């Protein structure tokens, strides 16, 4: 049986160590397109290898699913889901909003999540039953009961191209799905939506939002979790992920208007 708090602390150390290596290449490497149209740099691949090596050293019996190296879940009871560099475009152009996202799943469901932003010197982390934190400060939503013009919500570019949201709050596109959703856990954003995320984009923040008292789910189809063995998660059809406080979640979903 894995101690979730211990696993969380190890994931924090791992994300911090990986972030130090990524900072050496920050803004210096240009991205190229992968076969699926997404961006990648050599730094993504190098970071993925660092994380995989350290995870295998500490948890040799656990599986690893990552964006760059291993995209098939093989049914392990415990599996780490990794996005070594979420926000590749920002990273390659020298914008500081990019993250290292690491999650541990038990029986296909997220139980530990770390989202580390090296350039901003911020680390979000959570473990099932242990709470969510930002740099040692507990995160617990004390949300509003209605959207106002003073509020922010986060989206990705694809979401903004498909929907208009009939809420008073202001949208923000930050370029990192993991960070977008972590801001909901922090309470900086009152809601967030990612139109076509992959599992590694949302796994770590899934725990953050739930442990902070928020709601996160897939309003348009089958949930990302639990994972199903034998599925290539890079090729799997993806569904919308949305997060908000319990009081605002349904209102946020219903406010979408197709463009």
pLDDT of residue 36: 56
Q: Are 30 and 36 in contact (CB under 8 A)?
A: no
The kind and range of the H/E element at 9 are helix 4-23
Other residues' Cβ atoms within 10 Å of the Cβ of residue 32: 11
Asked if 178 contacts 99 with a C-beta cutoff of 8 angstroms, the reply is: yes
Residues of each domain in the chain carrying CATH 3.40.190.80? 152-258
Asked if residues 253 and 242 have their Cβ atoms less than 8 Å apart, the reply is yes
Whole-number Å distance between alpha carbons of 164 and 170: 11
Class of domain 152-258: alpha beta
Residue among 95, 149, 150 nearest 118 (CA):
95
Beta strands in the chain (DSSP E): 32-33, 39-40, 63-66, 78-86, 99-106, 109-117, 122-127, 131-134, 137-139, 152-155, 163-165, 170-173, 191-194, 215-217, 241-244, 256-258
**Rounded CA gap, 58 and 112, in Å?**
15
Statement: residue 127 has pLDDT above 60? yes
Q: What is the reported pLDDT for 176?
A: 97
* pTM, 2 dp: 0.94
Count Cβ neighbours within 10 Å for each residue of 125-162 and write b for 16 or more, e otherwise: bbbbeebbbbeeeebebebeeebeeebebbbbeebeeb
- Estimate to the nearest angstrom the gap between the alpha carbon of 12 and the chain centroid: 14
pLDDT at position 217 is: 96
Which tens digits make up the pLDDT trace of 2-59?
Answer: 999 999 999 999 999 999 999 988 876 665 555 554 655 778 788 999 999 999 999 9
Distance, in Å, from the CA atom of 139 to the CA atom of 214, rounded to the nearest integer, reads: 10
CATH code that applies to domain 4-139: 3.30.540.10
Q: Return residue ranges of the chain for CATH 3.30.540.10.
A: 4-139
Chain segment 135-182, per-residue pLDDT in tens: 999 999 977 889 999 999 999 999 999 999 999 999 999 999 999 999
Distance between start and end Cα atoms, the chain: 48
């Amino acid at each position: 049986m894995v101690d979730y708090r211990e696993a969380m602390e190890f994931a924090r150390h791992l994300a911090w160590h990986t972030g130090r290596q990524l900072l050496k290449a920050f803004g210096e490497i240009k991205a190229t397109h992968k076969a699926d149209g997404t961006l990648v740099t050599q730094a993504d691949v190098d970071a993925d290898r660092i994380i995989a090596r350290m995870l295998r050293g500490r948890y040799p019996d656990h599986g690893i699913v990552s964006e760059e190296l291993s995209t098939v879940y093989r049914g392990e009871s415990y599996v780490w889901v990794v996005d070594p560099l979420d926000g590749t475009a920002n990273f390659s152009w020298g914008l500081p909003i990019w993250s290292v996202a690491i999650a541990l799943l038990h029986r296909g469901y997220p139980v530990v999540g770390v989202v580390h932003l090296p350039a901003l010197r911020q680390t979000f982390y959570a473990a099932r039953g242990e709470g969510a934190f930002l740099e040692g400060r507990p995160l617990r939503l004390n949300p509003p009961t209605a959207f106002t013009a003073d509020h922010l919500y986060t989206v990705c570019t694809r979401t903004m191209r498909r929907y208009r949201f009939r809420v008073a709050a202001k949208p923000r596109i930050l370029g990192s799905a993991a960070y977008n959703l972590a801001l909901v856990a922090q309470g900086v954003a009152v809601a967030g939506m990612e139109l076509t995320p992959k599992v590694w984009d949302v796994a770590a923040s899934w725990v953050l939002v739930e442990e902070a008292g928020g709601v996160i789910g897939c309003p348009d189809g089958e949930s990302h979790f639990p994972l199903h063995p034998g599925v290539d998660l890079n090729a799997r059809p993806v569904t919308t992920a949305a997060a908000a406080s319990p009081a605002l979640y349904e209102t946020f979903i219903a406010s979408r208007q197709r463009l």
